[in-house]
Amino acid sequence: MGKDLKSFMSRCIYVGKVNENLEKLKAAAEELRDLRNNAMKRVKICEEQQPHMKRFERVQTWIRQADSAIKEAEELMSKNTSNMTSLKLDKKVSKKTREIRDVIKTRGTFLESLSENNNSKNNGQMVSADNDDDQTVGLEAVSGVPWRCLTVENTGIIGLYGVEGVGKTTVLTQVNNRLLQQKSNGFDFVIWVFVSKNVCVEKIQDTVREKIGFLDKTWTSKSGQEKASKIFEILSKRRFALFLDDVWEKIDLVRVGVPVADAQNRSKIVFTTCSEDVCREMGAQTKIKVEKLSWEKGWELFKKNVGEDTLKSHPDIAAVAQDVASKCDGLPLALVTIGRAMSSKKTPQEWRDALYILSNSSPNFSVLKLLDKN
C-alpha cells in the first residue's frame, strides 16, 4: 500500500510539473503573439503612411517564424490531457518554450520601424523614402534647427510640431541619420522610439532596453518600476539622444526611467507631435513648427513625382494636375504619395476623377486606394 501511495504521489508531482511547463509555454506564446501583433501594426502604419517603401525581408521572415511558433505551441497545448504524463510530450513542451523564447530574443530593433536601414553599418539609421530628396523639399532649414540644438545650443528637450503629413518624421529622421553618420557624435546611445496613439510605458521601456543593450533574461518578469530603475541606472551614467516619433499625449519619462535631459548630462530628447500643447506638457525648451510648403515648392515636388511624361501626355492634364496638387494643401507626404499614385494616369478623365475624389475628402491614404482603382 505504501508503494502504491508513493507511486501515486510521484505521479501527482510529475503531472504538476507538466502543468507548470504548459503554463510557461502558454505565457511565452502569448508574449510572442503580442510582439507579433505589435510588429504587424507598426509595419502596416509605416506602409500606409509611405506606400512606396518596401517591407524588409528580415521583418517578414521574423513574422513568419513567430506565426509558425505560435501555431505549433497552440497545437501542442491542445493535446489530449490523457497524454499529459507522457515524458515525450513534456520534453516537446519544454523544447517549444525555448524555441519561442529564442524567437522573442531575435525580434531585433527593426520591429520598431519598417523604415530602419538594412545596412548594419548604419547602426539604426532610418530611411524615410526611396528617394530622400523627395521628402526633404522645403524642410532643409527646419532640420537645421534641431540639429543645432543637439550639437550647440544648451537645450535638453526639443519638440517638433505641425499638422499630420507636413514632414515632422522626415526632419527627425534627417537629424537621427546625421547624428549616426558622425563617428564621434558625443552620444553613448542614440535611441529611436515609435510611439503613436495609446502610449504604453512598458513598450517604450522594452524598446529603450533593447537599444541600450540590456539583455537580462529576467526582464519580462520585472515590474514597471523595476524596469524604470534599471533604465535610469544605465542612462544616468551615459549621454544619450532619445528620438520619440509621433507623440499624441504627454509621456511620463520618469515612469519610463529616462533621466531629465539637461545641461549637466548634455543628453537630448527630441520628439514629434501634431500638438503644440504636447510640446508644452513635455517640457520642451525649444518648440519648432514644421510648416506646409509654399505653392511653388509644392507644385515642383508634385511635378517631380508625377513625371513630365505623364503631365505632357495630353494637353488638358497639366491644368487639372495643378488643381489636384492644390488639394494636397502643401503637405509633402501627400504631394509625394498622390503624385506617385497619379504618375500612371495619362488621360484627362482619370485626372478629373482624381480631382473629384480629392475635392470630396481629405488627402489621406485611403484616398490613394481610390486613385489606384481609377
Residues 183, 140, 264, CA angle at the centre, nearest 5°? 50
User: To which residue does cell 515525450 refer?
Assistant: 88
Q: Extract the C-alpha cell encoding 160.
A: 517638433
The hierarchical CATH code for the domain 295-373 is: 1.10.8
Q: Which residues on adjacent β-strands are paired with residue 160? A: 272, 288
Residue 71 has what pLDDT?
Answer: 87
Positive or negative torsion for Cα 352, 353, 355, 359: positive
As a whole number of angstroms, the distance between CA 277 and CA 248 comes to 10
Choosing among 3.40.47.10, 3.40.50.300, 3.90.1150.10, 3.40.50.10490, the CATH entry for 120-289 is: 3.40.50.300
pLDDT at residue 259, as a whole number: 92
**Extended beta strands in the chain, E state:** 157-161, 189-196, 240-247, 268-273, 286-289
Residue 43's pLDDT is: 67
Run of H or E including 142: helix 140-151
Q: Which residues pair with 42 in a beta bridge?
A: none
Report which of 280, 231, 293 is spatially closest to residue 258, judged by C-alpha positions: 231
Q: Is the dihedral of CA 279, 280, 284, 289 positive or negative?
A: positive
Per-residue pLDDT of the chain (374 residues; tens, 9 = 90+): 444 544 444 444 444 455 677 778 888 888 888 788 777 766 665 555 454 455 556 677 788 888 888 888 888 887 644 444 556 677 788 888 888 887 877 654 444 444 343 333 344 555 443 334 445 555 555 567 777 777 766 788 999 999 888 888 888 888 888 888 776 778 888 899 888 887 889 889 988 988 887 777 788 888 989 999 999 999 998 899 999 999 999 999 999 999 988 878 889 999 999 999 999 999 998 898 988 888 998 999 999 999 999 999 999 999 999 999 999 888 888 888 889 889 999 999 999 998 888 887 655 544 544 454 55
Nearest residue to 288 via CA among 158, 176, 138: 158
> What does the domain layout of the chain look like in residue ranges?
2-110, 120-289, 295-373
